[in-house]
Amino acid sequence: MNKAEERAIINKIVAGDTNSYRLIVDAHKDRIAAVCMSMLKNETWAEEVGQDTFVRLYNALPKFKGDSNLSTYATRIAINLCKNKLDSVNRRRNRFLVQTDSHNNVPSNQESTQKKLENQELINLALDVLKPEERSVVVLRLMEGYSIKETAEIIGIKEGTVMSKLSRALKKMQTVLDDLK
C-alpha cells in the first residue's frame, strides 16, 4: 500500500469508517508482531503489546500528519510499549529477586545449562543484558533490517546516536557471549 492509499484509508477511518482500520492492521501486523517478539522474547507479552500498539495507533490517527510512514509511526509506538513492558517486568523481577535472595542462598548451576544453549538462546541471553533502548536499536537494525535513518526516526534519536548505541550494545552482547564460552 503506497502513502496516498494509506492517507485515503486514514481519512476514511477518521471520518468514522472504523471497518477500514482492518486494512491498516493487515498491512502492518506482521512487522509489529516481529518487532514485539524480538524485543520481548515472550509470545504472550508480544501479543499483548501488539494489540496495545494497534489500539494506540487507532487513537492517534486523527493527529497523524504523515510526516513519516505509518509503518514507522506504528513501529515507534510498538517499541515504546515494549520498553514500558520490559521496564515493568524488570521492576517486578527485581522485587522478586530481593525477596528470594533474602530467603534462599542456593547457588545455581549455570555452567551445565549454558553449554546446552543453542545459538538463538545465546543471542537472547545477550539481548537480556541490554537496556531497552539499546535492545530496540539492535532489534530494529540487525533483526528487523531497518536502515539507520529509519531506526533513528522510529526511536526518535539522531542517526549518529543509533550507530553509537548499536556499537555499545554489540560490545555488551559480545562480552556476555565471551563469558559464556
Statement: residue 3 has pLDDT above 50: yes
Rounded Cα distance between 102 and 173, Å, is 30
Statement: residue 100 has pLDDT above 70: no
Rounded Cα distance between 10 and 26, Å, is 14
Q: What is the DSSP letter of 107?
A: P
Using an 8 Å Cβ cutoff, are 153 and 72 in contact? yes
pLDDT tens by residue, 13-61: 999 999 999 999 999 999 999 999 999 989 999 999 999 999 999 999 9
Statement: residue 135 has pLDDT above 60: yes
Could you tell me the sign of the dihedral formed by the alpha carbons of 59, 54, 50, 81, in that order?
negative
pLDDT tens by residue, 141-177: 988 888 999 999 999 999 999 999 999 999 998 888 8
Domains and CATH numbers, the chain: 1-106 (1.10.1740.10), 108-181 (1.10.10.10)
What dihedral do alpha carbons 86, 92, 97, 102 form, nearest 10°?
160
Amino acid symbol at 161: T
Residue 88: which pLDDT band, with cuts at 50, 70 and 90? Answer: confident
